[in-house]
Amino acid sequence: MDSTADKIAIPSDSPQIVRELTERTAANDVLMQPTCDRITTLWVSRQDLRGMLLYLKSQTYTLLFDLTAIDERRRTHRPALPGSDFTVVYHLLSFQRNEDIRLKVALVEDDLSLPTVTHIWPSANWYEREVWDMFGIAFDGHPHLKRILMPPTWQGHPLRKDHYARATEAEPFSLSDEQQEIEQDALRFVPEEWGMRRSGDGTDFMFLNMGPNHPSVHGVFRIALQLDGEEIVDALPDIGYHHRGAEKMGERQSWHTYIPYTDRVDYLGGSMNNLPYVLSVEQLACIQVPERAQVIRVMICELYRLASHLLFYGTYTQDLGQMSPIFYMFIDREKVFDIIESISGARMHSSYFRIGGVAMDLPKGWDKRIREFIDYLPARLDQYDKMVLQNGTLKRRTQGVGSYNTDEAIDWSVTGPNLRATGFAWDYRKARPYSGYENFEFDIPTGRHGDCYDRCTVRVEEMRQSLRIIRQCLDNMPEGPHKAYHPLATPPPKERTLHDIETLIQHFLNVSWGPVIPAGECCMTVEATKGLNGYYLTSDGGTMSYRTRIRTPSFPHLQMIPMMCRGMMIPDLVAILASIDFVMADVDR
């Protein structure tokens, strides 16, 4: 740390946890950084990190919300912050305090290593592998520090600033036969590399590659299974086949043009993905979103939640061998898309939200279709209850299968419906209302056993709650502008532009270069369809994001699979996969 760190003490009005933390762990050179999202952010030293994390975990900061890094070497706006080439960020969440805390560790380029925290949070395993893969930061003591998203043969670490972002910046791609052999060989699953034995207790194990192409893995996802007969001894999820570099793209798109990329992260959630991103940008730019835009956003989000949950419901039954429900549910989902299309012009990926509001106002007579739909769906859901949830075979397939309790779920960074299925009623929309959720009445459905069956019932009940929220949107849609009258709202409201030279320039710059968002950092999170989805943006005061970190719920959920399926059979694994409700784009980004 450089000398500025010593000068800035912990302010006396800082949260109590910060003072406790520094006293208890006897840490020196701790520095507090103000951030836009008002999350307590502390710079700590490498030696103190583990002790502090352990202490925080004991002080109810039990969820490792995110673990990521930033390549700071090209920053220009970092006033009064410790010098750092690479910064590793630990973002923790406390349910009891309803507070977050962020710890940052500065690293220099010659010495990129940190102690692992996998023994504190098992979920840190994949996060640390990701940081290693993307930045080349090593974690001492990590059990399997290997690449996770990139191919094992990849050269370089993509999220470093000196790694190219576009294929056109690199040599033209060609794949010779020899190289293809090498690449294929690198993907071969070798059990010994993962500490698996080939035989034991007088039996030889069979190793089965489930995926990357398999009907039940919902995308390109591989699980290497160690089998004794049909019983799963151990499993090894292998991700990265759907990696498209969404975070890297954030660093080369303007703040505005990145919005459509977010739709495709959880591609079943559509504009729900826009929300944490635009919230984050708006927080950085201090934009107040008008009430009407907020309610429209809530309504669109809940429609997308319905669409996503309907698809989950259908594939869930299909993976359990029930053939028909998915077709009925697709009909309902189609109706949702018709509504969204009539409002935004697009169906699955509407990219409807904008910095400062939404793309356009609601069309004339917008509420008729929605009203018809929310009157129609409850009866259908009741019918599905009889068809699916009350089916005896289905219950026997899912009850008690793949269960975990609340503590295990939190240890593995599980959020959203999968966490609520354990009986823990914590919903981000209630705990920390965003976009005006505090004005809506709805319940938090929970399960009891945290098994495959409860994960489904929670989602089914959430659909009913979404319908309630949409009805409230219909009945209470405020009048007013659909986008903020703010210089950084993009694109600028047309009626406020081209009046004089000032508004002409403003319009021209915002549309051609895109808005310049003030330097700072901010993480906004929403209760997305599958769990907590957060966008942690760092602006260096440019027209593009300096670092876009996407915290997705599916990533940690998949990491838990081995724990859930040990000792089960292949059909149980299929039920578990179906009940997790993941899409690979949300995992790999």
Partner 1 sequence: MNAGLGDAADIAGILASLIVVAAMLIWVERRLLAVWQDRLGPNRVGPLGLMQVVADMIKMFFKEDWIPPFADKAVFVLAPTIVFITMLTGFAVVPFAPGVGIIDFNFGLLYFLAMSSLSVYSVVLAGYASGNKYSLLGGLRAAAQTVSYEVFMGISIMGVVMLAGTFNLREIVEAQRGGWFIIPQFLGFIIFLIAVVAESRRTPLDLPEAEQELVAGFHTEYSGMKFGMFFVGEYLAITLSSAMIVTLFFGGWLGPWLPPLLWFCLKTAVGIMFFILLRGSLPRPRYDQLMAFGWKVLLPAALVNLLATGAVVLSLQG
Q: How many CA atoms lie within 13 A of 348 on its CB side?
A: 8
Contact between 569 and partner 1 (CB under 8 A)? yes
Count of chain residues binding partner 1 (CB under 8 A)? 27
Give the residue with the Cβ less far from partner 1, 45 or 322. Answer: 322
Give the x/- contact pattern for partner 1 in 202-241, rule: CB under 8 A.
----x-x-----xxx-------------x-----------
Residue 216 Cβ, how far from partner 1 at the closest point, in Å? Answer: 5
- Nearest C-alpha neighbor of 8 from the set 54, 40, 42: 42
Q: How many CA atoms lie within 13 A of 525 on its CB side?
A: 25
Alpha-carbon span 217 to 582, nearest angstrom? 9
CB count in 10 Å sphere of residue 354: 23
Give buried/exposed letters for 274-309 (b at 16+ CB in 10 A, else e): bbbbbbbbbbbbebebbbbbbbbbbbbbbbbbbbbb
Give the x/- contact pattern for partner 1 in 286-325, rule: CB under 8 A.
-------------------------------xxxxxxxx-
Query: Taking CB under 8 A as the criterion, which residues in 11-30 touch partner 1?
Result: none
Return the H-helix or E-strand segment holding 140: strand 138-140
- Tell me the residue ranges of DSSP E strands in 289-399: 353-354, 357-358
**Which pairing describes strands 532-539 and 63-71: parallel, antiparallel, or unpaired?**
unpaired
Give the residue with the Cβ less far from partner 1, 454 or 572. Answer: 572
Residue 575 Cβ, how far from partner 1 at the closest point, in Å? Answer: 9
Residue 106 Cβ, how far from partner 1 at the closest point, in Å? Answer: 49
CB count in 10 Å sphere of residue 273: 33
Residue 235 Cβ, how far from partner 1 at the closest point, in Å? Answer: 14
| 105, 574, 584, 585: residue in contact with partner 1 (rule CB under 8 A) | 574
Give the residue with the Cβ less far from partner 1, 164 or 327. Answer: 327
Q: How many CA atoms lie within 13 A of 65 on its CB side?
A: 30
Residue 443 Cβ, how far from partner 1 at the closest point, in Å? Answer: 29
Alpha-carbon span 186 to 189, nearest angstrom? 8
Contact between 393 and partner 1 (CB under 8 A)? yes
Stretch that binds partner 1, among 21-29, 71-79, 391-399, 411-419 (CB under 8 A): 391-399
Q: Is 244 left (phi over 0), alpha (psi -120 to 50) or beta?
A: alpha
Give the residue with the Cβ less far from partner 1, 175 or 323. Answer: 323
Query: Taking CB under 8 A as the criterion, which residues in 140-199 touch partner 1?
Result: none
| 36, 67, 300, 394: residue in contact with partner 1 (rule CB under 8 A) | 394
Alpha-carbon span 149 to 557, nearest angstrom? 16
| 423, 491, 542, 571: residue in contact with partner 1 (rule CB under 8 A) | 571
Contact between 391 and partner 1 (CB under 8 A)? yes
Residues that bind partner 1 (CB under 8 A): 206, 208, 214-216, 230, 317-324, 327-328, 331, 391, 393-394, 396-397, 569-572, 574
